[in-house]
Every structure is written in C-alpha cells, then in structure tokens.
Structure 1
Amino acid sequence: MIRAGRLLKNGTGIMSRIARPALTVSRSVQRCLYQSGPDSSEKETIVKLLYNIGSKKEVEQYLGHFSSVESQKFAVIKVGGAVISDDLATLASALTFLNRVGLYPIVVHGAGPQLNKRLEAAGIEARYEDGIRITDGPTLAIAREVFASENRKLVEALERLGTRARPITSGVFVADYLNQEKYDRVGKIVRVNRDVVESSIRAGCLPILTSLAETPEGQILNVNADIAAGELARVLEPLKIVYLNEKNGLYHGTTGKRIETIHLDEEYEDLLKEPWVRYGTKLKLKEIKELLDTLPRSSSVAIISAEHLHKELFTHSGAGTLIMRGHRLFSEQDLGSVDSDRLRALLLELDPSISSGRDSAASYWQKLAQLKADGGQYWIYGDEPYQVAAVVTRAAGQSVSVLEKFVATKAAVLGNITDNAWKLIARDHPQLVWTVARGDDNLAWHFERADGSWAVGEDIVFWYGIEDWTQIAPLVNAKPSKPAVSSKPAMPSGPAGSRGYSTMARRGHIGRRGYATASGSPLRVGLIGARGFTGRELIKLIDGHPRFELAYVSSRELAGQPVPGYAKSPLDHVSLSAAEVGAIARAGRQAVDVWILALPNGVAAPFVDAIDAATSGVASAEQPIVVDLSADYRFDATGRWAYGLPELHRKDLVGWNAGRIANPGCYATGSQLGLAPLLPYMDVARLPSVFGVSGYSGAGTKPSPKNDPAFLADNLIPYAPVNHIHEREIGHSLTRIANPRALDSPVMVQFTPHVASFFQGIGLTLHVPLRQSMSAKDVHEVFREFYSGEKLVHVTRDAPLVRDNAGQHYSVVGGFAVPPVSGGETGSASLAARRVVLNVTLDNLLKGAATQAIQNMNIAVGIDEYTGIPAPEQPTMSQS
C-alpha cells in the first residue's frame, strides 16, 4: 500500500484547523479575563481556551516553543499610535492573555497620530524630510508629553485587567543625532540598555517602552518606533518581532488580498520586482530583511492586528503576514543531485516504514532507480537544511502522480516550510494521489489539500485533480465498488489550515471543500426510530448519499412495511430490540458502520449500552459510530461523546475516534449559531434572551395540541417558559467554548419556545447584552468573519424569513440591529442601549436534526463534510 509518511514523528505534526472557524482570542478569551482573576489553574484554563483558535497540538507546540527561551527573548511588539487610540481594550486584552500563559512580550509604542493632533491644536506644522519627522524644540516638548500620556494609558489599561506593567519612557535607547542640521532632534540608536527591560521582567512586569532616546549627555531625541523596535530586537534576538497595525498584515497591491507568508530567502528578490512593491512597502520589506539577516534563523516578523495576535502566535494558519528568512526549497529528479545521507537521516527519524525497519533507505533508493529505468519518474522535494522532504513518483504511461513520502521536523512545521513544499508539489503535479492511515493525527491537514477521498480498509486515499476513480484504483491496489462520482476542485470555502506562498498562485482546494461528493465502498447505516419526521428526512438524505446506504430501518409501528422514499434497494422496516442491535454490532463494521438513534429522550441508553457491551475491547477504529439525536448524551461528562455542532466543535468530530456523537437540538443549534460569535463581547452580568418559534413538526408525531393544525390555526402557543432542556443545552455548550473549566457554572441564557401553525422551520430572535457599544456594521462583520467559509451557515444583513429557509439545509443569521446611543444617556439607559438584536432561521428537521447528523457522520468517517447534502434549491443569501 502506498503511504505518505508522517508529517512529524510520534504524531506531532500539522494539525489543521478543521475545527470551527476560529474565535480570535481577543474575542473568546476576554470572557475569561473579565470573569476571573489569576489563580493557580488560570494558565491551564486559558491554554484550553486557546484550543478554540487552533488544535491542541498546535497550541502546546507553540507554547512549548515560546516558553523554552528566556522571557525577554519571546517577542518584541511594536505598537502603532493608532492602535492605542482606536483599539486600546483589545490591545490590553491581548497582552494580558500572553502574560497569563507565562509569556513576557516587550512593547515599544509610537504615538504619531496623537502627536499630529496635538501639534495641530498648538498651531505647529508637522514637517517631514525623507519620511522622517523634523523634530524641533517645540515639537519635542509636545512629543514628550504625548508619549508619556499614551504610555500611561496602556499601562493603566493593563493594570485594570490585573496585569502588572512598568512604564519605561527613558533609559533604554542611547542615540546620537541622525543629522542635526537636517532633522534637528532626531536620533540614531547606538546602544540599547537591556538591563532596564530585563529588570522589569524579573519583577514580573510587562515592559512598556516609548521610542524616545537620549544622547550620552541626556538630550532627548525622537526615534521612529519601528526602528527602535528593530534595534531592541537586534540586542535581545527574540523569537518574534511583531508589528501591530489596524490592517492585519500586508496586502498584495494587485489582488488586494492579504499576503500570508513571505520566505525571504526564496521570495525576496522576485517580490521586489513586483510593480506594486514601491515606496513605503519596499522600504518596510528592506528594513525587515536587514533586521532578520542579523538575527537567528528561528526569528520571524509578524505584521498583525491586536485582535488576531493570538491566532498568529499559536496556530500554523496564522492571521496576519508572517515574514521569515526560511530556506530555499529544491525539486530534483535525480537522487544524485540531493544529499542522500541527510535525506536518509530524515527518513530514518520520521518516515514510519523506514523508522520501523519494515523498509530500508537503500532498498527505497533502489526502487526509485528501477522506476526510472522502467521509464517512470520521481521527484524529491526539500529545503536546504533537510527539515522537510517529500518523494513523488509517476509510473511510465501514467498521468497521475503518487505522493509516497512527506516528512517534516518540528522546526519545519513551526516555520511553515511544509506548506511551501506542498505548493511546489501542487505546482508540478496537477493530478496527485496519496494514502494516509485512518488513525493518523493529521487527517484534517490532508483533507484540506484534497478534492476527494475514499476509505479503503484502514486507510484513506486522498486525491486532487482527478475526476475518474479508475485512474486511482490501480495505484492503491483497490477496486471501486461502483463508478466514482467526480469531485471537482472547490475554491477555498473556509479558513485555510495553512499559509501559502505570497507570490505563487494557490490551488483552489486549500481550505475546507464545499458541496463535494465522494466515492468508495458503501458505509452501512442502521437507523433506529424511523417513524418520526426526522427519521423520514434521514432516509431521504441517505438515499441520495454517494457513500451511505441503509442496512436496517427499525420501527415497532412500521415493522414489515416497505421503507418509503428509499430507492437504492428494496428494504422493509424491522423492529430491532436493544439486544438485537448489540448482536449486529458484535459483527463489527462489516455489518453496520454507523448507528443513528432517532428516538425520544430517555430511550437511547439500552441501545447504546448494548453496542458498548458488544464492542468492548474492540479497537475504536473497528467500532461503529453512534449518532444519538435525543438529548440523552448532550450533557455527557465522561468525554466519550462529542457534541455534534460542527461549526463550533468540528475538531471533536474528526476521525473514527469520535465514535459517539450527540446531535444537538434544533432550537439549541440556531441559538448557539446566533450567540457564539458574540461571546467575547457579552456583558456577563446580564443574560441574553432567545425568543423561538417552531413549526409544529417540532412537536413530533404523537397527537397533541402543539401539532394539531386545527388548534394552531390563527394561534401561537408558548410552552416550557422556563428551564426548557434546550435552555440548559445552549448554556452548557457555549460554556465549553467560553470557559471549559466552568461547566459547574455555565453560561446562562433565557429561552422561551413557541409553536406556530406552519409545518417546519424555526425563527429565533435573540437579544444579546454587550459590554460595550457596537454598531450593526461591526456586529455583521463579526459574524461574517466567524462563519467565513461555513457552507451551512449564511450571514446576511437582512432579517431572514422562516418560509425562505424551510426545506433548506443551512441556517441563516442576520437582521442585526443595535439601539442608538445618545451622548446624554447614563445609567440604566446607557446599559439598555448596549445590546444587539439579531435573527436566526433554520429548518428544524434538517440543519436542526437530519442534515446535521449527516454532516457529523461525514466528518467522523473521514469523507467530505458536505457529501450527500444537497446544494441550495435557490440562490443562497450572500455573506455580504
């Protein structure tokens, strides 16, 4: 079996953020920062919160990386004056967060906009020469006041959050006049007194520096904050030099898109030839290159906004622009052109077949030589220090290439070298196939780079650029069970799990794929509880699914009757007891791959217990997946059940190890989709409220006034006005996002359900109290970013309508409204104005139940998340 090697030894590899779109920590973490002060468990709590923006492995990897150096060598952060004036709370929160996980960033700030404003008020014209501010006596006098004031603002903002900070407005930078005749009191730094900075850190305080310098005689001189930060970095040699700006990075002058990564050794010369790289952009790049050329290769520069700082530091995907020296990459087609000894050492350490002794490097070299002698080709990819290596082969007469090995050291992962190596492979091979074990920790990374996948035994075969499975089957020694349904490359639909070259066109399949199809051997499904409305919808979805097929459909009332709406094969209802389900489960996945329990609350346990007993001692990869649609396991505290709301908990559902999935309730799904993006902005002292109205299909098939059309005509029935189970479910799940350690004190929500005279669909109106005033535009942007790329959550400015969403497989969030705030409002009036009202619609039988179950099953078995979920029947509401 052809197999791509592990990305890192012992499972430490690229863990793509296939989990829900990341809450930037300045959002998700603020809740913790405002609710609790430091205690012995706080670092652990905040580290867990970091998992909301990246995988556990990523977070631990970077924390270990950062904490392995001296405190003063973690990061130098240059803060522009505009960030202090416009985004002080976010900046203070971000710095507090870093400090509470044991890190000590060193801040150097400017105050350009504030200085210009003060100079204008004083009637002093701001003058520049060669982009440098001419600083005469009156200008310097005001500059000293402004720098001290802005420094004090930041220090006080940090201390309000419980973070010790030390204002350092002098004594660090020693300078001579840059050109006194030309620029007057502008300095050129000649020495940095690091003792002042290190003393602050030893005292447990974040050092907050201005960029003012002094001559040896004590004359104060003005120095550009970027230059001051760079000179400080040259002395301290930190892992990160961070330039905070409000734009969240550098942007390509032609495409307008943010540049994710620049590897200077590979890209610098070509980048400077771009017609849009001129003036300030060219100067900035030259200054950064000059700086990094003097620092260890492990150092890097990040240009990022304060809000996204944590994502940049703790995830492989990052958020702003990452600039590093990197290493030049190579692509060779002859083993004699590479350093075979270094390649051998890398494979011996990281490649599973060679490190285990099943194969040897020498025999593998011979295999490559024979391939070439037989008219085939091979390619070896890597970087200069051999931190990453890949081998791709193509047999004679074949158009499809095979990725046989792909290995990387920890340094290559942290430096994003792996992703650039992948770009070279994608450039050279328009059609590629590779195989990964189902239990591989890095499956998500592979899914992001594939157009399609197919489970073959204990492996998953991935491919891109291929429309016909028959091209792939001979390469993996597998026979398709039926003709493949092609899977065309989809444009990026969500947050990419990795960075890409800034100057190279990116393949369309990087990022979560859209409504793709998949092919391969059928996955057998047992459905217990088919009589209800949700059961009927599941049957229709499975009938149209290219990979799932029904093996059993159980219903006591319908036993012996044909299953309606299922055309794949003749199938009758059966009535399976818990013991009979256990007996079937004992046969393993050959009998049933997935059990769906579409039963009333309180009924699922005997079936779950029977499956557990039948599969006790069986490896998790051999056990069937169980998806429970009731509320019985949504509050599971054992850690065995994953909560199946992919947009918020996707990372918990990846792979067969997520063997037990609790499907969320319909009201709970819509409510959480409306509340989750606002968690970091909520006023925790006031409860959000949710007013929900459902169609009467939500009341089930058992006759009652709540599903009697005659009784509901011209009527609206409220029910369970307090303590509805969905009310507790909403709070329980949101707590796992906002503060995982506080499940005994969950997020509280007020929820009131109603049933109306329409058949299916849900409309929700949410009132969410805020800690600070926000505009409707701001809130819309929060949601648009949060759900960027989510195929089953659409964001719109307009209030969505239930009738437009009924029968659709996605939810719609919109109608954002914020009360006006007048300058005279105080007290309770001002408090009432700090809130947002929004609307959510979804189909209670589909995204609220059946569609979500299929979505969860797809993720768990390792196929495209949206396989078998019909695309919208009409144009979708744009995420504008």
Structure 2
Amino acid sequence: MALSDSESVRLFRSSAPYINAHRGKTFVIMFGGEAIESENFAKIIQDIALLNSLGVKLVIVHGARPQIEKRLAIHNKASRFKDGIRVTDKETLECVKDAAGSLRSQIEALLTMGLPNSPMHGSQIRVCSGNLVVAKPYGVQDGVDFENTGVVRRIDVQGLNDHLDDGSIVLLSPMGYSPTGEVFNLSHEDVATKAAIALKADKIITFSESDGIFNKSGKLLRTTELNTMKKEVALGNIVAEDTCLTAMLASVEAGVQRAHCVNYKTDGVLLKELFTRDGAGSLVLQNHYEQLRTATIDDVGGILKLIKPLEESGALVKRSRERLEQEIDKFTIIVRDGMIIACAALYLYPEDACGELACVATHHDYRGANRGERLLDEIRKKAILSGLQKVFVLTTVTGHWFLEQGFEEKHIEDLPAGKKEMYNFTRNSKVFMLSLFPN
C-alpha cells in the first residue's frame, strides 16, 4: 500500500538522524550466492546504491557457492568438502573463476543501471574491484590437500581506501591472489571479516535466509552484546546461519563496533535496519563497560549520592531516602564499575496515556558519550510497553537538550490533571513533551 504524502514526510524526517549518523562511515556488506538468486536481490542492490548516494562508504563481498555447484554439475564434476571447506582442484578452480566473474558482472550491471523509471536514475555509481585481497593456500589438513582453496593473508587497505575516498563502491569476490601469481578460492565470510577488520569498518552487515539470530525458543535477538552472545553460542542456545554468525562475532571481537544480520528475502530490510529505531534484524555490538538496567533497592544510596549536587544547585527537586525507596522501581540507571553514573525515572499517568520523565542526572565526570540518549531510549521503550502515547519532562535548566532529542515545548495546561495539580509555580519549570508515535 502506497504511503500518503504526510506519512512519507514523517518517515523522511524520522530517518534524518540516521542519515547524518551514517554519512562518511564505512560499512562492509556480505551476502552469499543464495541471496543473489533471490527475487529480492535487485532491490537490495538498489538500497545499497541509495546508501552510497547518502555518503556511506561501501565494500560489498559476495559468495558463489550455489553458482559453483551448478557449474560443477554441468561438467559432471563432484564437489569435495572436508569439514565444510571446499577442496579446490584445478578443474574446480575454473568453475570458481567462471562463477565469480559472472556474478561480479551481474552485480556491477545492477549497480550501474540508471534507467529513468528505476530508483537509481541519475546515481552515476562507480564500482571498483581488483586484486585487493592477497591470499595464501589453506594447505594440507589431516592429510587432505586443499590445493587452490585459500585463506586471506592480507587486505590492500590503501587500495580499498583510495577507491572509497573517491566515492566508489568496492566489490570483492571470494577469490584472492598470491604474490607468486596463483589464484585461490576463498570463503566470502573470510573476505568480509578480514576486510571489515582491516578497514576498521563501522559496521559489517550480513544477509541471511532468516530474519537474524534466534534463541532456542524461537525469539529473534534484536540487540546483544558480544560477551552475552558468545556465552549463548557456547551453551548451544543460538540458532543462526553459520557464515553470518561467524563473520559477526569475529568482526566485533576484533574491534568492529556493530554487526548486523538481516533477511535477504525481505524488501527494504537494509533500509529498515539502518534508518528506523526498531530495525529489522539482529545486532551484535561491542560490550559496554557500563550496564544499563532497572534500579533495585540496593541502588538507593548510589542514586542519592549522584543526584545530591544537582538537588543542591536547584536543578533537581529534592528526594528523601524514604521516597526514593518507595519509587525505586521507576528508575533506570547506568552503572560503571559498581558506581551509578546516570539515572532517570518514569512516572506513569495511565489515564492520560502519558508519562513523566524525571530525575534525569549524569555524573559530572561522565557527561557526554550519549549516556543521556541511552537512558532516554530505554525510558521511551518502557513507556511504549506501558501503553503510553507521550512523555513529558519539567526542567529549569536543560530545556535545550530535550529539544534536541525531539521534545516540544508545551504549556502547563498540556500536563495530565494529576501533575497539573502538583505543579510548583515557585520553580517555574518549563514543560517539554515527546510524542512516542509522531504523526
């Protein structure tokens, strides 16, 4: 169903922060040969082209396993695998080169398409590839000679960055070259992982046959820190495509900040994952040294210590220990090395489908680094789960920060009846309100 003009405007506005955040960043995008055979693949390429036009630096790494299998079948050649790794003899290597070359041409053609009735009209995208991956032989393992099967030895980072800085999309095939002139068949996840690590990429994005990473009960894991994911994998609690999971964990372990997994069958999945708050797949990210969680009774002392300077300055309303103990379950905190460094509370006014964001505080040594944004995002999620439509805040000194987060200045009359009766005219706090479901 087509969006109305107002819906299109709202969608465009809501994506603007993500557009600004992604501009100039480096993403490695990885998909296997199965994705290329999907009916949705042309649309994936269109969305990749859109990312390029928005200023994202892109490296695409493709696989070719099903295409290689087809060529081997034509030649009545049986596939040979050992521990899931293809044994690449000379005849198989010719099929690998044929498949990779054909797929590279297909992808380049799709990225070059600029017909007047296509989404990429006028894009003028440049696609570059070449001998940017230096490989070495996998060698003899358990008595099996893998011949022309190889692993990545080195990524030509300077060459990649030259192309990326020139505005080009770099396309890497699952093939590498040695200084002695040999060609090696590589796994595309090895190429993608090593490229992301070498480039210090901001993201690696993997395409899977499923919607992402699931736990054993079938729940899609939206956002998971690396250590938590590794523990779940070790316990056998994870269901995911092996190539995607391997690339994601190895990349994040080596310093890539974020690794995504999305479904190549879903139209617009790449844009939804990158430009909407809820995303569309699974995200594995670096471990935070800080823990964000709901406060417990044991946290009362730490919160009192945190908010005391702000209470003394008049920035926050004073709270007694007794009151804080009674309301502790309303607080969300950020803890670093056992110390509470930030907090915020959510008070519900369910009859008005409204909530109050209160007692927002960050330790003066830890301001910045988006801690306020992390707290606000968590409060927003809790408010939505509670069935609220909007959140308001009363403040005397931080109004500009709330405006930057999407709040709008309102009047006392806009407050819920219960809060309006308790409004302290002596403080003369300004009212700011955030719609959780903007029009």
Fold agreement, TM-score > 0.5: yes
- After TM superposition, list the pairs within 5 Å mapping 1:291-690 onto structure 2: 291-295=251-255, 298-305=257-264, 307-327=268-288, 328-330=291-293, 331-333=295-297, 334-337=299-302, 359-360=314-315, 364=318, 367-372=319-324, 376-379=326-329, 380-384=331-335, 389-391=343-345, 404-405=358-359, 411=370, 419=377, 436=392, 458-461=413-416, 477=421, 651=438, 654=439
- Bigger drift between 313-322 and 323-332 goes to 323-332
CA deviations 1:404-425 (Å, max 9, x no partner) are: 34689784698x7755566689
* In structure 2, C-alpha distance between the alignment counterparts of 1:188 and 1:413, rounded to whole Å: 43
| Aligned residue identity for 2:139 | N
1:65 aligns with 2:21: yes
1:227 aligns with 2:190: yes
Q: Is the contact made by 1:54 and 1:314 (CA closer than 8 Å) also made in structure 2?
A: no
Mark the CA change 1:460 to 1:215 in structure 2 (over 3 Å): closer, same or farther.
farther
1:142 to partner: Cα distance: 0.8
Of all paired residues, the percent bearing the same amino acid is 20
| Aligned residue identity for 2:98 | E
Partner of 1:96: 49
1:244 aligns with 2:194: no
Q: Is the contact made by 1:175 and 1:188 (CA closer than 8 Å) also made in structure 2?
A: yes
Mark the CA change 1:217 to 1:263 in structure 2 (over 3 Å): closer, same or farther.
same
CA deviations 1:315-370 (Å, max 9, x no partner) are: 212122222125332434334446956x789xx7xxxxx8xx98335x64xx1425
- After TM superposition, list the pairs within 5 Å mapping 1:97-136 onto structure 2: 97-136=50-89
Say which one has the larger Rg: 1
Q: Is the contact made by 1:300 and 1:325 (CA closer than 8 Å) also made in structure 2?
A: no
Partner of 1:97, secondary structure, is helix
* In structure 2, C-alpha distance between the alignment counterparts of 1:251 and 1:405, rounded to whole Å: 36
* In structure 1, C-alpha distance between the alignment counterparts of 2:271 and 2:341, rounded to whole Å: 26
Partner of 2:124, secondary structure, is coil
Partner of 1:262: 224
Partner of 2:118: none
- After TM superposition, list the pairs within 5 Å mapping 1:706-721 onto structure 2: none
Partner of 1:75, secondary structure, is strand
Mark the CA change 1:417 to 1:171 in structure 2 (over 3 Å): closer, same or farther.
farther
* In structure 2, C-alpha distance between the alignment counterparts of 1:227 and 1:282, rounded to whole Å: 12
- After TM superposition, list the pairs within 5 Å mapping 1:281-300 onto structure 2: 281=241, 284-285=244-245, 287-295=247-255, 298-300=257-259
1:140 to partner: Cα distance: 1.2
User: Structure 2 stretches of 5 or more lacking a match?
Assistant: 115-122, 349-354, 363-367, 423-431
* In structure 2, C-alpha distance between the alignment counterparts of 1:286 and 1:118, rounded to whole Å: 27
What is the number of residues matched between the two proteins?
Answer: 386
1:80 to partner: Cα distance: 1.8
1:75 aligns with 2:31: no
Partner of 2:274, secondary structure, is helix
Q: Is the contact made by 1:22 and 1:54 (CA closer than 8 Å) also made in structure 2?
A: no
Partner of 2:427: none
Mark the CA change 1:88 to 1:283 in structure 2 (over 3 Å): closer, same or farther.
closer
- After TM superposition, list the pairs within 5 Å mapping 1:177-216 onto structure 2: 177-181=137-141, 182=144, 183-216=146-179
* In structure 2, C-alpha distance between the alignment counterparts of 1:96 and 1:50, rounded to whole Å: 23
* In structure 2, C-alpha distance between the alignment counterparts of 1:52 and 1:253, rounded to whole Å: 40
* In structure 2, C-alpha distance between the alignment counterparts of 1:294 and 1:339, rounded to whole Å: 39
Mark the CA change 1:145 to 1:284 in structure 2 (over 3 Å): closer, same or farther.
closer
Mark the CA change 1:134 to 1:22 in structure 2 (over 3 Å): closer, same or farther.
farther
* In structure 2, C-alpha distance between the alignment counterparts of 1:49 and 1:140, rounded to whole Å: 54
Partner of 1:105, secondary structure, is strand
Partner of 1:190, secondary structure, is strand
Q: Is the contact made by 2:134 and 2:154 (CA closer than 8 Å) also made in structure 1?
A: yes
- Bigger drift between 145-154 and 128-137 goes to 128-137
* In structure 1, C-alpha distance between the alignment counterparts of 2:8 and 2:342, rounded to whole Å: 26
**Higher relative strand content:** 2
| Aligned residue identity for 2:249 | K
Partner of 1:303, secondary structure, is strand
* In structure 1, C-alpha distance between the alignment counterparts of 2:228 and 2:304, rounded to whole Å: 20
* In structure 1, C-alpha distance between the alignment counterparts of 2:132 and 2:46, rounded to whole Å: 25
* In structure 2, C-alpha distance between the alignment counterparts of 1:431 and 1:66, rounded to whole Å: 31
1:234 to partner: Cα distance: 0.5
| Aligned residue identity for 1:273 | L
* In structure 1, C-alpha distance between the alignment counterparts of 2:405 and 2:168, rounded to whole Å: 41
Q: Is the contact made by 2:193 and 2:250 (CA closer than 8 Å) also made in structure 1?
A: no
| Aligned residue identity for 1:121 | I
1:155 to partner: Cα distance: 0.4
| Aligned residue identity for 1:230 | T
1:176 aligns with 2:128: no
Q: Is the contact made by 1:404 and 1:434 (CA closer than 8 Å) also made in structure 2?
A: no
Mark the CA change 1:443 to 1:293 in structure 2 (over 3 Å): closer, same or farther.
closer
Partner of 1:458, secondary structure, is helix
Mark the CA change 1:160 to 1:288 in structure 2 (over 3 Å): closer, same or farther.
closer
Mark the CA change 1:339 to 1:290 in structure 2 (over 3 Å): closer, same or farther.
farther
* In structure 1, C-alpha distance between the alignment counterparts of 2:233 and 2:384, rounded to whole Å: 21
Partner of 1:85: 37
* In structure 2, C-alpha distance between the alignment counterparts of 1:286 and 1:320, rounded to whole Å: 16
1:248 to partner: Cα distance: 3.8
* In structure 1, C-alpha distance between the alignment counterparts of 2:183 and 2:165, rounded to whole Å: 27
Partner of 2:181, secondary structure, is coil
- After TM superposition, list the pairs within 5 Å mapping 1:724-735 onto structure 2: none
Q: Is the contact made by 1:435 and 1:460 (CA closer than 8 Å) also made in structure 2?
A: no
- After TM superposition, list the pairs within 5 Å mapping 1:684-703 onto structure 2: none
RMSD between aligned residues: 4.5
Partner of 1:204, secondary structure, is coil
1:219 to partner: Cα distance: 1.6
User: Structure 1 stretches of 5 or more lacking a match?
Assistant: 1-20, 29-47, 349-353, 395-400, 446-454, 462-472, 479-620, 622-649, 655-880
* In structure 2, C-alpha distance between the alignment counterparts of 1:138 and 1:418, rounded to whole Å: 59
1:273 aligns with 2:235: yes
CA deviations 1:43-78 (Å, max 9, x no partner) are: xxxxx999568451x4221222122x4xxx421111
